[in-house]
């Protein structure tokens, strides 16, 4: 039988409630349509941390998923990801959390686009991708890839929802690819 179903439903319920409660504070009625908060409110004061830029250096990678409602290393979350060329713009996408840097989470962006066909072009652009397969973070069950040579700083307050826990075997392979990038 599907032993994972009750746990998945419990997580979805918890994440929806968490999103709803956060959204209620921001005056948002529906957590599924909640938009990311801007870095400045109507009064001009800062409501969230401005993006300090991508993490540089060697991260301390750990695998510590915890069923606590917070984003933890080893979990795939949905959050706002700034574009590389302009950090003031970006889009909501899945991110694999791999560690921490002070108040920031460290993460790697995921995509369902297959980069195997354009590996050389991506390499010329300085982008390295790794296949991680399918998982519950993608509602359409599409194969995913993770970018292993761009480490994002993620504001924990901007995590919209936790999508899944990546199994330790795949996480270990991703961590090895990050370390050699």
Domain membership flag for residue 42? no
What is the spatial distance between Cα 150 and Cα 7, in angstroms, rounded to a whole number? Answer: 31
Residues in the chain, total: 181
Q: Which residue has the higher pLDDT, 54 or 21?
A: 54
Confidence check: pLDDT of 4 > 60: no
Domain membership flag for residue 46? no
66-107 pLDDT per residue, tens: 999 999 999 999 999 999 989 899 999 999 999 999 999 999
Q: Tell me, what CATH number does 65's domain have?
A: 2.30.30.110
Instruction: For residue 19, give the 3-state DSSP assignment.
Output: helix
Q: Which residue has the higher pLDDT, 20 or 134?
A: 134
CA triplet 23, 89, 69: central angle to 5 degrees?
Answer: 35
What is the spatial distance between Cα 102 and Cα 119, in angstroms, rounded to a whole number? Answer: 34
26-43 pLDDT per residue, tens: 333 333 323 333 343 333
What is the spatial distance between Cα 118 and Cα 55, in angstroms, rounded to a whole number? Answer: 26
Are the C-beta atoms of residues 106 and 55 closer than 8 Å to each other?
Answer: yes
Domain membership flag for residue 43? no
Residue found by looking up tokens 């270990």 in the block: 172
Domain membership flag for residue 45? no
In this structure, are 114 and 173 located in the same domain? yes
Based on the number of CB atoms within 10 Å of its own CB, is 111 exposed (0-12), middle (13-18) or buried (19 or more)? Answer: middle
What is the spatial distance between Cα 124 and Cα 118, in angstroms, rounded to a whole number? Answer: 10
In this structure, are 78 and 109 located in the same domain? yes
Are the C-beta atoms of residues 49 and 103 closer than 8 Å to each other?
Answer: yes
| DSSP-derived secondary structure for 51-74 | P---B-S---------SSSS--TT
Domain of 104?
Answer: 54-179
Residue 51 has a CB neighbour count (10 Å cut-off) of 19
Mean pLDDT of the chain: 80
CA 48 to chain CA mean position, Å:
17
What is the spatial distance between Cα 171 and Cα 91, in angstroms, rounded to a whole number? Answer: 24
What is the spatial distance between Cα 181 and Cα 179, in angstroms, rounded to a whole number? Answer: 6
Query: Would you place residue 177 in the very low, low, confident or very high pLDDT band (cuts 50, 70, 90)?
Result: very high
Mean pLDDT across 23-28: 38
Domain membership flag for residue 4? yes
Residue 14 has a CB neighbour count (10 Å cut-off) of 15
The total number of structural domains in the chain stands at 2
In this structure, are 20 and 89 located in the same domain? no
């Amino acid at each position: 039988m599907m032993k994972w179903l009750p746990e998945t439903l419990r997580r979805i319920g918890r994440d929806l409630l968490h999103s709803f409660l956060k959204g209620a504070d921001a005056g948002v009625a529906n957590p599924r349509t909640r938009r990311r908060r801007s870095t400045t409110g109507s009064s001009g004061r800062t409501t969230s941390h401005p993006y300090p830029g991508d993490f540089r250096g060697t991260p301390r990678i750990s695998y510590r998923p915890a069923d606590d409602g917070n984003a933890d290393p080893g979990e795939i979350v949905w959050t706002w990801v700034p574009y590389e060329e302009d950090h003031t713009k970006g889009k909501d996408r899945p991110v694999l959390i791999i560690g921490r840097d002070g108040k920031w989470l460290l993460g790697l962006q995921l995509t369902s686009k297959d980069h195997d066909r354009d590996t050389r072009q991506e390499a010329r652009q300085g982008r390295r991708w790794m296949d991680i397969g399918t998982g519950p973070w993608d509602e359409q069950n599409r194969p995913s890839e993770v970018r292993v040579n761009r480490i994002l700083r993620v504001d924990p307050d901007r995590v919209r929802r936790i999508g899944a826990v990546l199994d330790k075997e795949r996480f270990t392979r991703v961590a090895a690819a990050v370390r050699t990038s």
